[in-house]
Amino acid sequence: MTKNKFLTGAAMAGLLGICSLAPVHAQTPEPTAAPAAAGAIQTIPGMPPVINPNNIYSEARPDNIAPEVAKDPARIYVPNLRSNDVYVIDPATMSVVDRFPVGRSPQHVVPSWDLRTLWATNNAEGTTQGSLTPIDPRTGKPGPAVPVDDPYNMYFTPDGKSAIVVAEARKRLDFRDPHTMAMQGSVEAPECRGINHAAFSIDGRYAIFTCEFGGMVAKVDTVNHQILGYLKLSTGGMPQDILVAPNGRTFYVADMHADGVFILDGDTFKETGFIHTGVGTHGIYPSRDDTVMYVANRGSHKVHGPRHSKDGSVSVVDFATNRVIRTWPVPGGGSPDMGNVSADGKLLWLSGRFDDVVYAIDTATGSMKSIPVGAEPHGLTVWPQPGRYSVGHTGIMR
């Protein structure tokens, strides 16, 4: 275990002048949560109950697709960062069936909390012309873009009351109305350079965000909307994606420079271990049976390439033992990045970031198929997915 460099929220606020976020309707009191049954998780008001305290993903099993969601056609939505468009893949034919322009520099396609909108986050790198493009999952077609400053990524509070737009270049989290995207308020994260990915605790009371260019993570109070503190990772220095374990308290942080996954205790905010996976560790996704996580190793420590890296691979890590049980190299080299698992759990879909392809990976054998897409595909999403609600990113379902 490494030395904890956690600073309390009060101390950090005093040093950095961090402000809390005021509620949108201050005159309306928060509902009082019902008393928790013995062994139940006391969640934040408005958050759907935790059905299985040992597995926050229990309601995202293949047989739990909501009836309304089940009517949506099966599609893979691929945002292409440099060609400023979204490609749409039909998984039945493994072919591109549509493409449409969106805003500048689309980074991720994010399912909304209520599962009825897919949002392309166009952060217009280096400008103030960012936007969110809504996509109707029933028709697969985009609607008019909503101007939003620097939306690199987006999450939703587990109670569904706010979208959290991750304004990476601004070192800021913007809480917005989850439907209209009207601003509710902001939380500044001045020490978190490159703030980008997040995971929420089992009760929804806090989230941990990665700071890509600061070699650390930030803990955020989702109830009072303030920074609780920062934790410097012991080695590495380029944290990317983050995933919470089925227990809702253990957090896994992919680090592209450390070539592996740091393990954190979210409640105590301490680093407790490390799992070596592969070169350029980047994305993390749970299997549909919640027994393993798939870790995408991009094959390079560089932010912009190279193509066809011989070190590109996917590691399969067992949740119970925190050990790598399988490794799947990309045939001929590649750059697996972000994505998700199919509704039935049989295919892992990942963007090939620097190879302009999408990988469809058989989760039983590790065999891969590549589908050409636009220029620099990034955070693709798979739709539909099982679950009651989405906390964002490429579809982290509960």
Query: How many structural domains comprise the chain?
Result: 1
Is-contact 251 199, C-beta < 8 A? Answer: yes
**Pick from 358, 174, 394, 165: which is nearest to 284 by CA?**
394
Return the sign of the alpha-carbon dihedral for residues 216, 221, 227, 228. Answer: negative
Let me know if residue 348 belongs to a domain: yes
Is-contact 88 364, C-beta < 8 A? Answer: no
Let me know if residue 113 belongs to a domain: yes
Let me know if residue 1 belongs to a domain: no
Peptide bond into 306 cis (omega under 30): yes
Let me know if residue 367 belongs to a domain: yes
Q: How far does Cα 2 stand from its chain's mean position?
A: 26
3-state secondary structure of 168: helix
Let me know if residue 18 belongs to a domain: no
Let me know if residue 62 belongs to a domain: yes
**Pick from 155, 200, 204, 210: which is nearest to 44 by CA?**
204
**Domain membership of residue 236 as a residue range:** 52-383
Q: Kindly report the CATH number assigned to the domain that includes residue 190.
A: 2.130.10.10
Let me know if residue 190 belongs to a domain: yes
Let me know if residue 40 belongs to a domain: no
Is 273 exposed, middle or buried (CB count within 10 Å of its CB: 0-12, 13-18, 19+)?
A: middle
CA distance 104 to 175: 22
> Rounded to 5 degrees, what angle do the CA atoms 81, 363, 60 make?
80
Could you read off the pLDDT tens digit of each residue along the chain, which spans 398 residues? Answer: 433 333 333 333 333 333 333 333 333 333 334 444 546 899 999 999 999 999 999 999 999 999 999 999 999 999 999 999 999 999 999 999 999 999 999 999 999 999 999 999 999 977 778 999 999 999 999 999 999 999 999 999 999 999 999 999 999 999 999 999 999 999 999 999 999 999 999 999 999 999 999 999 999 999 999 999 999 999 979 999 999 999 999 999 999 999 999 999 999 999 999 999 999 999 999 999 999 999 999 999 999 999 999 999 999 999 999 999 999 999 999 999 999 999 999 999 999 999 999 999 999 999 999 999 999 999 999 999 999 999 999 999 99
Is-contact 200 267, C-beta < 8 A? Answer: no
CA distance 274 to 290: 20
